[in-house]
Amino acid sequence: MKSIAFFNNKGGVGKTTLVYHLAWTFRDLGKRVVVADLDPQANATAAFVDEDRLEEIWDDKSGADSIYEAVQPIIEGTGDLKKPSLEQIESGLSLIVGDLSLSSLEDELSQQWSKCLDGDPRAFRVESAFWRIMSLAADEADAEIVLIDVGPNLGSINRAALIAADFVVVPLSSDLYSLQGLRNLGPTLRKWREQWNERLAKKPSRLSLNLPRGQMAPIGYIVLQHAVRLDRPVKAYERWIARIPGEYQSSVLDDTGSSAALISEDRNCLALLKHYRSLMPLAQEARKPMFRLTAADGALGAHAQAAIQAGKDFRTLAKRIASRTGIDVE
């Protein structure tokens, strides 16, 4: 299993849209995929699951469990994890359903983080809960890839989600706020990695439990929703795009010794994705990826061409991510 988190503490950059479309793209490339919705806003779940079905799950009418219900026994001290109930979206694509109640775990995860330093077995069970649920889900679905959607903050829920990630992709928009987000995100990832390694050394020998490595290796960034004219960023975005390579290199990679490349030459840039504008509302209404839109969905003329281009863009992006994470795709 390769787990990949899409993380930026700045919201509104299209992170969930990215996870949604990459999940479908990897599935179309022949990979079995699980999406883990660890964002307390459950935006990825809302993208994959219609409201009627989601009401059944959250009201416990269907027997299925959300991510919150799967971790609830260990949080409440009544047992260990429940086996996650996977929502199958399509053959080869499954979802660990998100839950707004996940936000209530913030204080508990914060407390248990400190207790790991005391070698408390329960603390390790709590902090590794997300990773263990994703591992169980990947085994059940025979999935090679787990894509993790998280909220835009640096709290304890995201920390528990990120230590479960082998790799981290940073979605960005072309603005000052994303640059500031990189300045916060990079040092935080390094701190969490160091702190988890310190805690792993305190794991009690009697605890027979597999724990995540907390690798969270950054593999690059993606700039979304920027406007272009004649295949060039419009002037309003150029000043911010020009600063992204240097900021990512220094803040996220902690590399201040070499000069940053132009974004078009920067190997850390996985993709510059255009703003798909009116294509996205069509996809949301049809409840399908942009590149699966048809004339019956309203994708006519320029929209049809844009849908085809979106498919090419995401396919190229998925292959780049696969290359950097050791995932074999045809």
Residue that is written with structure tokens 């500031």 in the block: 180
pLDDT at 22: 98
Decide if pLDDT at 66 tops 80: yes
pLDDT at 303: 85
- Higher-confidence position of 26 and 235: 26
pLDDT at 274: 79
- Higher-confidence position of 228 and 65: 65
Question: Model-level pTM?
Answer: 0.94
CA atoms of 92 and 112, how far apart (whole Å)? 35
Share of the chain above pLDDT 90, in %: 68
Q: Calculate the CA 246 to chain-centre distance.
A: 23
Q: What is the pLDDT of residues 148-165, one digit of tens each?
A: 999 999 999 999 999 999
Q: How confident is the model at residue 140 (pLDDT cuts 50, 70, 90)?
A: very high
Q: What is the pLDDT of residues 210-222, one digit of tens each?
A: 999 999 999 999 9
CA atoms of 197 and 214, how far apart (whole Å)? 7
Q: What is the pLDDT of residues 251-285, one digit of tens each?
A: 999 988 777 778 889 999 999 987 777 788 888 88
pLDDT at 11: 73
Decide if pLDDT at 313 tops 70: yes
Q: How confident is the model at residue 240 (pLDDT cuts 50, 70, 90)?
A: confident
In the chain the domains, ranked by start, together with CATH numbers, are 2-325 (3.40.50.300)
Decide if pLDDT at 230 tops 60: no
